[in-house]
Amino acid sequence: MKRILIGGVAALALAACGGAEEPTVPEVETPPAEAPVAEVEAPSAMETVLAGAWRSDAEKARDTWRNPAETLEFFEVDADDTVVEIWPGGGWYTNILAPYLATGEGTLIAAIWDVNVFEGDRRTRIEERITEFKAKYEADPETFGTLEYSAFSAESGPLAEAGSVDAVLTFRNVHNWMGGDYTAKFFTDAYDALKPGGVLGVVEHRLPSTAEQDPRGSTGYVHEDFVKALAVAAGFEFVEASEINANPADTADHPFGVWTLPPVSRTADREGNTPEGFDAATYEAIGESDRMTLKFRKPAE
């Protein structure tokens, strides 16, 4: 009897437990997941240089036409290279090359005009321009590094110590040397200065192959095959051509040659004559010239 009572009590206890509601677990509100923070890439050395305050707004506006970042990448220019820039003029490309090479402890050698081939007032003007050019870059070595100098002309010596340079670059100069008949000398001098495997980069106003070439380059336009032939004759291997600086709108047959187009935008000849019906807006709309961009290499030994 006692066992029955105990069993009954146990059964009731189990029944009571079975019928009870399970305790409610309070819901914990999950905080909203934070949106992932987008990683922002730091600007490259070249991007920083192109945005530099030392470059004027007018210079930066020409990047669309001259494509400096893409052009220098095509020419394989690295920040730790030794580079010769031929006839830097007012310094448009120098304002990019010098600070870019300074970021990697590279060296820019500016091959300026050779004052020894000028006389009188013209020599004085050239010397003044060279003095101003040097003063600009020497005033801010933190930005531009320390430039080295050589010269190029029909009578000049080496561009640099033989076999010491990673790249030799010329921007829109070949037609100038044609007038003095020393274009071939440039390619020989560049070859001598370059290390084996070094790059020669040439940008020049391009004359259509169907147009007749002026041997003196008086229009500023040059046949691409002419440049290639001179480079190969000097010992270079042709590597590749790029259309980075092409402009299909340029027909290369303008009244004042390439100087009819921006940035010069000439409207009259040296005597002050303007052709009848000349419309400057037409040439402004074309933009800067169509240019070949050619890469050559000194063979590796």
Concatenate the DSSP letters of all residues of the chain into one string.
-HHHHHHHHHHHHHHHHHHSPPPPPPPPPPPPPPPPPPPPPPPPHHHHHHT-TTS-HHHHHTHHHH-HHHHHHHTT--TT-EEEEE--TT-TTHHHHHHHHHTTT-EEEEEEE-GGG--HHHHHHHHHHHHHHHHHHHT-HHHH---EEEEESTT---SSSTT-EEEEEEES-HHHHHHHT-HHHHHHHHHHHEEEEEEEEEEEEEEPTTSPPPTT-TTS-EEHHHHHHHHHHTTPEEEEEE-TT--TT--S--TTGGGGSTTT---S-TTS---TT--HHHHHHH-SPPEEEEEEEPPP-
- Please indicate whether residue 25 or residue 79 has the higher confidence score (pLDDT): 79
* Mean pLDDT of all residues in 159-173: 98
For residue 30, the model assigns a pLDDT of 60
CATH match for 44-248+288-297 among 2.40.50.100, 1.25.40.10, 3.40.50.150, 3.40.50.9100: 3.40.50.150
Closest to 109 in 3D by CA, of 173, 185, 163, 167? 167
For residue 7, the model assigns a pLDDT of 45
For residue 134, the model assigns a pLDDT of 97
Using CA atoms, how far apart are residues 251 and 90, in angstroms rounded to an integer?
27
> Which residues is 242 bridged to in the sheet?
293
Using CA atoms, how far apart are residues 92 and 88, in angstroms rounded to an integer?
7
Q: Is residue 2 predicted with pLDDT exceeding 50? A: no
Percent above pLDDT 90 for the chain: 85
For residue 18, the model assigns a pLDDT of 44
Least confident of 7-21, 81-95, 180-194, 236-250: 7-21
Q: How confident is the model at residue 67 (pLDDT cuts 50, 70, 90)?
A: very high
Q: Is residue 298 predicted with pLDDT exceeding 50? A: yes
Domain ranges for the chain: 44-248+288-297
29 token code pair: 């509100």
Q: Which whole-number Å values give the CA distances from 268 to 2, 255, 261, 264, 280, in the listed order?
A: 131, 9, 12, 11, 10
Decide if 167 contacts 83 (C-beta within 8 A).
Answer: yes
- Please indicate whether residue 128 or residue 27 has the higher confidence score (pLDDT): 128
pLDDT, one tens digit per residue, over 8-65 is 434 434 344 444 444 555 555 566 666 666 676 789 999 999 999 999 999 999 999 9
* pTM, rounded to two decimals: 0.86
For residue 301, the model assigns a pLDDT of 76
Q: Is residue 250 predicted with pLDDT exceeding 90? A: yes
pLDDT, one tens digit per residue, over 185-234 is 999 999 999 999 999 999 999 999 999 999 999 999 999 999 999 999 99
pLDDT, one tens digit per residue, over 94-123 is 999 999 999 999 999 999 999 999 999 999
Q: Is residue 144 predicted with pLDDT exceeding 50? A: yes
For residue 201, the model assigns a pLDDT of 99
For residue 5, the model assigns a pLDDT of 38
Residues whose CB is less than 8 angstroms from the CB of residue 222 and which lie 6 or more positions away in sequence, other chains included: 174, 175, 178, 204, 205, 206, 207, 213, 292
Q: Which whole-number Å values give the CA distances from 162 to 84, 126, 194, in the listed order?
A: 12, 27, 7
For residue 35, the model assigns a pLDDT of 63
Averaged confidence pLDDT in the chain: 91
144 token code pair: 């531009």
Residue whose entry in the numeric block shows the structure tokens 């010491």: 164
The phi, psi pair for 178, rounded to 5°, reads -65, -35
Using CA atoms, how far apart are residues 111 and 192, in angstroms rounded to an integer?
14
* Mean pLDDT of all residues in 114-137: 97
Decide if 68 contacts 93 (C-beta within 8 A).
Answer: yes
